[in-house]
Structure 1
Amino acid sequence: MEPRIRQAYEAGRFEEIAFLYAPVGLVVTENRVIRDCNLSFAEMFGYERDALRDQTFSILYPSAEEFQNIRDRGVPKLRESNTYWDERVMARRDGTLFWCRVRGHSFTPDAPLTRAVWSFADLSPVRPYNELTRREREIVSFLADGLTSKEIALKLDLSYRTVEVYRAKLLKKFGVVNTNALFTALGQVDATHVVSRAGEES
């Protein structure tokens, strides 16, 4: 047993080792800057802990647009209930993308991102990342919002038939037979908790 762990046990400082050695990624943030994280979080993203401290969270996202999209999506939920969770695509240090389940709690509900704590679980073992084109992600996002193919066609200035072709290709790509099964394949949860990727060209 490491001296640090033994000393923490002897002194009753269990919160210290619980944070550091938890088998799920934990991170404390301030205005979307990583103030501290545990070993699992750093390992998940391919960094040393010290390299992540005081870094903006944007370095862990596939694009700046997605970093902003998550903020816009999460803040209203945090203000409403002071908790938030979703499943999203994140980026490791080497550039590989992976699905991640994220849960958050704010210490400053009126300004939810000022100070918060988050947990991150790597879903790679059960859900390998499948690349979607920009147009596929747009259509999945609108489907998740409950829009029909006709409504999506109007939003994207496409024909109804084109949207239906994209939808059929998505079902085939993920080996499913309907939209609900597609959301399950993408996120394993209700579509309202699946954050579609954005900002890349097809």
Structure 2
Amino acid sequence: MNGADVEDSYRDGVFGELAFLHAPVGLVVTENRVIRDCNLMFARMFGYGRADLRDQLFAILYPSQEEFVNIRSRGIKELRETNAYWDERVMMRSCGALFWCRVRGHSFTPDEPLTRAVWSFADLSDARPYQPLTRREREVMSLLGEGKTSKEIARVLNLSFRTVEVHRGRLMRKFGVRNTAGLFQALGGLGGTHMVPHGSVPEG
């Protein structure tokens, strides 16, 4: 869209395309998890051109095919009941770099929420740099997010209390914090249902 197009939009009072294209947050319209269109911010966020993303399966933006498959049903209940959903998850740029982003969704077909929907994506890299975690660290992080104590986590994972504390300590060192409260502050204060740890997405 060039300057003349902007002038036309303001003259005619028709701002839909202008707002979509230049919104300061990533916007993407999907159909059955296929990208039908996206705005400039979304394309830049992931390191692609808009034309490169159109009609691509969303899988190309996930760290693994497994995570793309497993996250499919996440949020469907909320979208059906309230047509509002959000979470924070790890995504992948075209260069292979992983980053945290906040995702919000609205479905045009609430009975079948993934049939047609619009999503916003906000890059959280400045506030939350991506930290690679081991499988056990992801499991411990997820259970901490559910409010479980180290003793409870040890029972769930069939580990010793000391082993859980070691993993907990490593997580705090990786995020440069001194306690669990600081750990979740570093993760935006999220826990449980709204945080999707990379590599540990609930089965759908």
Same-fold call, TM > 0.5?
A: yes
Q: Is the 8 A contact 1:138 1:198 kept in 2?
A: no
Secondary structure, aligned partner of 1:154: helix
TM superposition shift of 1:115: 1.1
User: Where in structure 1 do 4 or more consecutive aligned residues deviate above 6 Å?
Assistant: none
Where does residue 70 of structure 1 map in the other structure?
A: 71
Cα RMSD of the aligned pairs, angstroms, is 1.7
Counterpart for residue 115 of structure 1: 116
Amino acid corresponding to residue 146 of structure 1 in structure 2: G
The match for 2:190 is: 190
CA contact (8 A) 2:131 2:174 kept: no
| 8 Å contact from structure 2 (residues 27, 42) kept in 1 | yes
What displacement does 1:151 show?
Answer: 2.9
* Structure 1: gaps (5+ residues): none
Which residue in the other structure is 1:11 paired with? 12
Secondary structure of the equivalent of 1:129? coil
Describe the SS at the equivalent of 1:94.
coil
Cα displacement string for residues 6-40 of structure 1 (whole angstroms, at most 9, x for unaligned residues): 22233322011000111111011111111110011
The whole-number CA distance in structure 1 between the counterparts of 2:182 and 2:109 is 37
> Is 2:53 the counterpart of 1:52?
yes
Task: Report the equivalent of 1:98.
Answer: 99
Aligned equivalents of 2:79 and 2:181: distance in 1? 26
User: Paired residues, what number?
Assistant: 198
* Alpha-carbon offset, residue 93 of structure 1: 0.3
Q: Could you list the runs of 5+ residues in structure 2 that have no partner in the other structure?
A: none
Secondary structure of residue in 2 paired with 1:85: strand
> How far 1:5 sits from its partner (Å)?
2.1
SS of the equivalent of 1:72 reads coil
Give the CA deviation at 1:96: 0.5
Equivalent position amino acid for 1:121 in 2: A
In structure 1, the residue corresponding to 2:126 is in which secondary structure?
coil
In the aligned structure 2, how far is the partner of 1:167 from the partner of 1:92? 29
TM-score, normalised via structure 2 length: 0.89
Displacement of 1:163: 0.9
- What is the CA deviation profile of residues 80-117 of structure 1, one whole-angstrom value per residue up to 9, with x for unaligned ones? 32111111111000100111111111122221111111
SS of the equivalent of 2:28 reads strand
Partner of 2:139: 138
Q: Cα deviations across residues 24-68 of structure 1 (Å, max 9, x unaligned)?
A: 110111111111100110011011101111111111011122223
Q: CA deviation at 1:119?
A: 0.7
- With normalisation by structure 1, the TM-score equals 0.90
- 1:149 aligned residue: 150
In structure 2, what is the Cα distance between the partners aligned to 1:81 and 1:179?
32
